[in-house]
């Protein structure tokens, strides 16, 4: 840093301010310092810095089901938010989610000397396990409701389901089925609850509830059965991958979308706009979710107190797979 300061013609403190994104540095001075950094090939010595600050500038992220769209993009959002805040991320992925595996992973992070831990494990019981773990660093969880022991941020899954049902009801649908995610997933259970509550609020009985497994193959298989039965005029599918399978099954069965059955997905994957027809779906802002979790963790690192839980609101993206129901025969 002294070499950078000499080449840039500034003080050692000014270099430090530039490196830490301090606002009280002019754009011209910042540019000179950055040019000197590039010229000299300067890199921070993290080990030396941690001796002074007693921080590693590393956040541990514990996750599971990372092959699935939601968990994987939650991880990406966390990584980006951490990097924006000047932190690196150490990731531990769980193959089997058990109390022992969660505790072992947290202990591993503590051995690494991380400054904080974010947990994104979408299975019931995870929060209870975390509350029994004592750590010397802040710990937040994606989906946690927030209390004295554990706080976190979550997308409001129930609101997402409610947006779907209200949209379909406003179009005139009265028989709205749900192809859900698998049992044992917190988000899947919340979407089922939101679907049921919204139907009840509209004075409608729950139409068929069918358990899925998040895959397009499952959506295709169940779509063939639903298309043959024609017991619903609209289908709320718990993720876009299963919705893709449903659309293919309906096409093969001669079921027109949306003329015969409307279809709504969940996640708003980038490909959803290019399905045939383009898919109406619920968008989750994983970038905001990551930012909120990292902000909670860093605030707790500074204050020592858990912040209030944060809810990220989803939004409905209306495309071409929903319309008014067909007239009764």
Position 17 scores a pLDDT of 81
Residue 80 to residue 188: CA distance in whole angstroms: 26
In a domain, 49, yes or no: no
Residues 291 and 147 in one domain: yes
Mean pLDDT of 172-185: 96
In a domain, 141, yes or no: yes
Residues 276 and 207 in one domain: yes
Residues 171 and 206 in one domain: yes
Mean pLDDT of 130-155: 85
Residues 304 and 277 in one domain: no
* pLDDT confidence bin for 201, thresholds 50/70/90: very high
Residues 221 and 238 in one domain: yes
In a domain, 318, yes or no: no
In a domain, 50, yes or no: no
In a domain, 219, yes or no: yes
In a domain, 327, yes or no: no
Predicted confidence (pLDDT) at residue 170 exceeds the cutoff of 90 = yes
Q: What is the CATH number of the domain that holds 34?
A: 1.10.260.40
**pLDDT tens profile 45-89:** 554 554 444 567 899 999 999 989 999 999 999 999 999 888 999
Residue 59 to residue 56: CA distance in whole angstroms: 8
Tokens encoding 156? 């409001």
Structural domains counted in the chain: 3
Position 148 scores a pLDDT of 64
Tell the residue number behind the tokens 């409610």, with chain if given. 162
Predicted confidence (pLDDT) at residue 131 exceeds the cutoff of 80 = yes
The conformation of residue 233, written as its DSSP 8-state character, comes to S
Residues 167 and 273 in one domain: yes
Residues 197 and 259 in one domain: yes
Strands 151-155 and 176-180: unpaired
Reference 64, options 16, 98, 109; nearest CA is 98
Give one DSSP letter per residue of 258-315, joined into a string: TTT-EEE-SB--GGGGGSSSPPBEEE--HHHHHHHHHHHHHHHHHHSSPPPPEEEPPE
How far the first Cα of the chain sits from its last, in Å, is 79
| Domain of residue 291, residue span | 55-154+285-312
**pLDDT tens profile 153-164:** 999 999 999 999
Q: What is the CATH number of the domain that holds 188?
A: 3.40.50.2300
Residues 86 and 116 in one domain: yes
In a domain, 142, yes or no: yes
Residues 164 and 264 in one domain: yes
In a domain, 266, yes or no: yes
Residues 80 and 132 in one domain: yes
Position 45 scores a pLDDT of 59
Residues 228 and 267 in one domain: yes
């Amino acid at each position: 840093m002294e070499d950078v300061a000499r080449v840039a013609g500034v003080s050692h403190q000014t270099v430090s301010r530039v490196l830490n994104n301090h606002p009280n540095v002019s754009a011209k001075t910042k540019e000179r310092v950055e040019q000197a950094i590039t010229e000299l090939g300067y890199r921070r010595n993290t080990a030396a810095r941690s001796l002074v600050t007693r921080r590693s500038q590393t956040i541990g992220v514990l996750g599971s089901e990372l092959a699935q769209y939601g968990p994987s993009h939650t991880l990406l959002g966390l990584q980006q938010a951490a990097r924006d805040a000047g932190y690196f991320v150490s990731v531990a992925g769980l193959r089997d989610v058990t109390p022992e595996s969660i505790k072992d992973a947290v202990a591993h992070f503590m051995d690494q000397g991380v400054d904080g831990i974010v947990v994104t494990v979408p299975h019931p019981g995870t929060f209870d396990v975390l509350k029994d773990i004592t750590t010397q660093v802040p710990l937040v969880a994606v989906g946690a409701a927030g209390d004295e022991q554990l706080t976190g941020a979550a997308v409001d899954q129930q609101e997402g389901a409610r947006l779907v049902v209200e949209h379909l009801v406003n179009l005139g649908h009265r028989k709205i089925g749900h192809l859900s995610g698998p049992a044992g997933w917190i988000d899947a259970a919340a979407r089922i609850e939101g679907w049921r509550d919204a139907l009840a609020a509209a004075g409608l009985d729950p139409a068929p509830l069918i358990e899925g497994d998040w895959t397009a193959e499952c959506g295709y298989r169940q779509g063939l059965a639903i298309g043959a039965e024609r017991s619903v005029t609209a289908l709320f599918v718990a993720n876009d991958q299963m919705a893709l399978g449903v659309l293919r099954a309906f096409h093969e069965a001669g079921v027109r979308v949306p003329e015969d059955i409307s279809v709504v997905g969940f996640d708003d994957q980038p490909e959803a706009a290019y399905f045939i027809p383009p898919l109406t779906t619920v968008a989750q802002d994983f970038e905001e979710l990551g930012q909120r979790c990292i902000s909670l963790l860093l605030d707790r690192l500074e204050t020592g107190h858990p912040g209030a839980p944060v809810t990220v609101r989803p939004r409905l993206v209306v495309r071409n797979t929903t319309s008014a129901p067909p007239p009764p025969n």
